[in-house]
Structures are given as C-alpha cells and as structure tokens.
Amino acid sequence: MRGGSAPRCPVCRSRTSAEFSPFCSQRCADVDLGRWLNERYAIPVEDDEDDAPPEARPPLSDED
C-alpha cells in the first residue's frame, strides 16, 4: 500500500521543509509574502447588493 505523497512548496513545487512549512525555504516564503503584498493573490468576496459602498454610507453617530 502506498502512502500519500510528500507535501510540495506552493511556490516552486519542491519538497517542503519542516522549518519553513508549508514552503521549502525562506526564499519561497518571502516570494509568497511579496505576492500577497503586491495583491497578486486575493481572497474573493461576494458583494451584497443591499450594502452601499463604505464611502456612500452616512457616518456613525456618537449618540447611543
């Protein structure tokens, strides 16, 4: 019976390192972080048609 395959680095597809998991090296971890910071990756969201964009909403009042 064959076990599951070893996890692969999401950047370069090499085998992962326990020290840098889920990446194989600090370099690949930094590359991935750079992609997030440069907005190459994004988490999709569904816009609610009933919600106005934040700039169109009236300011919250301090009276409560």
Helix then strand then coil, in percent of the chain rounded to 5, is 25, 5, 75
Is the whole model's pTM more than 0.85, yes or no?
no
What pLDDT does 52 receive? Answer: 61
Six token digits for residue 6: 């070893």
What pLDDT does 9 receive? Answer: 97
Per-residue pLDDT of the chain (64 residues; tens, 9 = 90+): 455 688 999 999 999 999 999 999 999 999 999 999 999 988 888 877 666 666 666 667 666 5
